[in-house]
Amino acid sequence: MEPVLPPTRRFNTEETGRLDVLVARALSLSRNQAATLIAAGRVLVSGRTEKASFLAPLGTEVIVSVPVSEARELLPEDIAISVVFEDEEMLVVDKAAGMVVHPAPGNWTGTLVNALMGRGQALADGGGGDERAGLVHRLDKETSGLMIVAKTDRAHRILSKAISEKRIIRRYAALSWGHLTDDFISVDKAIARDPANRLRMAVKEAGRAAKTDFYRIARFMSTDLLRAHLHSGRTHQIRVHLSSIGHPVVGDDTYGGGGARRLVALPPKRQFLHAAWLRFSHPVTGVEVDLRSPLPADLRESLMTVSEMPELIAHPDPLEYLGFYRVEG
């Protein structure tokens, strides 16, 4: 019988800091739990064991072997999800707001991964353990829209490389408070974990490089409708970058955009951020895949409220009407 190996967690540090602190944040553990794993030799830093006090440089690869006794069994669940593209190699899901992407402490059930497992299909390993089976990229809990999932390790490898080489085009619809100073703004600011709150990210000079382009699609009384172009994929990137220039995402309680939610007809905890457009080459056939996700009902109602444009009601996709899917940029 083959030996049962402990599950592994892999991550690259998003800031410079003590190893025990970085492991604790990445795995949602206490600092003592992280230090125990390090002392037991279960943490490798660029292939070597280090002490808990080791200062890991930015971007360092860390591999953590979690003891089997501490691992949670992930169960398939019968949860309805919207699949907008699927073949033998991959699928694309239109994730609903409020759904957590992968299991973690506090959210072991009801996640997208649980739902994918419940479909009874093969999912790529991808080196991230069962919790991240098949995931090529992620969306925040309260962000809706298109997500790529790999069924085979081959597809996962090719798609992950395409993301890192910026060959997968991801466009987000965001409603921001106030008005940008121009119809186009590029925000090129490094992002790292906020040292004062591990649940937040922040613009930090010593963080990982991050760049987002923002194109104003429409200007309303107190908000702008933006098309956000990701050049990198840092945690909370769009939200952090917009907050850093004084125009947070409408409804974003974490980064200063949650006020006056009722004025824009947003439900509690909802932020106006939607992964609306994906373009990429199929990982095996090379055929171009172009997928679009119209605004879900809650964001559409909010757009009707802030735009005061009755003609949007009759259009099946207000984003298309407003020119969101223009190819330039």
Nearest to 237 by CA among 275, 267, 270: 275
Which residue in 20, 94, 140, 224 is the catalytic one?
A: 140
**Residue 140 is a catalytic residue:** yes
Could you tell me if 153 and 281 are in contact, meaning their C-beta atoms sit under 8 angstroms apart? no
Residue 301 class from Cβ within 10 Å (0-12 exposed, 13-18 middle, 19+ buried)? Answer: middle
Task: Please enumerate in sequence order all residues whose Cβ is within 8 A of that of 246, keeping only pairs 6 or more positions apart, or say none.
Answer: 178
Nearest to 4 by CA among 74, 66, 47: 66
Active site residues: 140
